[in-house]
Structure 1
Amino acid sequence: MSADERREQLLDVLADLVLSEGYGAASIDRIAREAGIARTVVYAHFGNLEGMQHALIARTENRALQGIRRVVPDAPVGEDPDALLLEALHGFLRGVHDDPITWRLALLPIDGAPAELRGVIQRAKDAVSGLIVPVIAWGLEQRGGPRGLDPALFTRLLITVLEDTARLVLEDPHANDPDRIVDFTRTLLQSISRD
């Protein structure tokens, strides 16, 4: 196993422990035991448990932001704004469905989470907002409203709704299939008049 593969394996072990038992259940001994390796290998990669937790948080942030960047285009774009929103929503929710570990770590409360995590979550929200605001502004202009809708405030609302919708997918992926949520959103958009 290469150094990068070993690092990913160890972070996967930590992620499984954190999601099943909380951050307090993780120790270098336990991670090494679960991975079937010597403790010195874990120390060589991360220095200590705190370093490993920081690496897991950074990996989670990176994966989540990459997933969002894949579905949010740069504005302006040449599509119908409603179709663009539905396509981006479907791509986002499909990503949540297909990578539940990353999104559980990013969106669900976990016992004993490091204080650093709150700052990382806020930084990620700010980055996502920076990606989305220009697209929302373009979409409102192309769509013809609703008039007076502030793109920055609407983006904050949209991010909150997306987080909650992603939690629904994580909690019960069968009842809250991405296609069902996209169909609901399509119906909602059709009910909002264009100016």
Structure 2
Amino acid sequence: MTSRQRRKYAPRLPREQRREQLLDAAMAALADCELHELSMEAVAEAAGVGKPVLYTAFGTRGELVDALLHREHERGVEQVLAAMPDDLTILGATNAYAATVKAFLAAALDNPTRWRLILTVPDSAPREYRDALRKARSSIVLQAELLAKAGIALEPHLEGLDPALLGHTMLSFAEMLGRLAVSEPDTYPRERLEAYAVAALKLLGAKG
């Protein structure tokens, strides 16, 4: 078989659809390697296309990585915000906090490759991506602070807690558990992390 016969021909797709396909392929390739090890060859292979198709959509590896990080970051933020409750009155503050952490863990384990990129920011990540992460985290902290304020108003025994610090604490706690979930799943399976989250947050809700 000649090299011409072996060449991969990909069906024509609209540019944005092709880019999404290639970003999906990059995520698939990242399941088996770290971001700094991701090669254009691996992405093309995962997508089932030739490298010319890949380079037509993304002129450089840096362009592909930048697009990938920003897409997954946006999707991750959407997952976090969707997990945060609007009403604490049904479950109570501490039960709602525990449910939120459990929902976050479920989201992280549903797509561990995405959350490794977000929670263990690679050294090779562009500065603009790091800046975007910090900005998004600040907005989530503000939402967590609003939840903390609502919980404190609902449960008077929490009155002595600083809502801003409680918001930071809840987010850092969830991030820590998520990081363990996606980085060391054998040592810290979901059930272990969820049980710890519930027990730890019960201490917060314990009346003095």
Query: TM-score range with shorter-chain normalisation?
Result: 0.7 to 0.9
d(CA) in 2 for partners of 1:112, 1:18: 14
Alignment of 1:1-195 (within 5 A): 2-3=13-14, 5-17=17-29, 20-74=32-86, 76-79=87-90, 80-192=92-204, 193-194=206-207
* Structure 1 residue 118, shift from structure 2 partner: 1.6
Unaligned runs of 5+ in 2: 1-10
* Structure 1 residue 92, shift from structure 2 partner: 0.7
d(CA) in 1 for partners of 2:38, 2:168: 34
d(CA) in 1 for partners of 2:156, 2:186: 36
d(CA) in 1 for partners of 2:109, 2:125: 23
> In terms of mean alpha carbon deviation, does 18-27 or 99-108 score higher?
18-27
State the TM-score, normalizing by the size of structure 1.
0.83
Count, aligned residues: 194
* Structure 1 residue 65, shift from structure 2 partner: 0.8
d(CA) in 1 for partners of 2:88, 2:159: 20
1:139-166 per-residue CA deviation (whole Å, 9 max, x = no partner) reads 1221224333111122112222211111
* Structure 1 residue 40, shift from structure 2 partner: 3.5
When residues 33 and 128 of structure 1 are mapped into structure 2, their CA distance, relative to the original with a 3 A threshold, is same
d(CA) in 2 for partners of 1:66, 1:106: 13
Unaligned runs of 5+ in 1: none
d(CA) in 2 for partners of 1:104, 1:29: 22
d(CA) in 2 for partners of 1:168, 1:139: 27
Q: Contact 1:129–1:156 at 8 Å: present in 2 too?
A: yes
- Partner AA of 1:123 in structure 2: K
- Partner AA of 2:83 in structure 1: V
Q: Contact 1:144–1:194 at 8 Å: present in 2 too?
A: no
State the TM-score, normalizing by the size of structure 2.
0.78
Q: Contact 2:70–2:129 at 8 Å: present in 1 too?
A: no
d(CA) in 1 for partners of 2:41, 2:193: 42
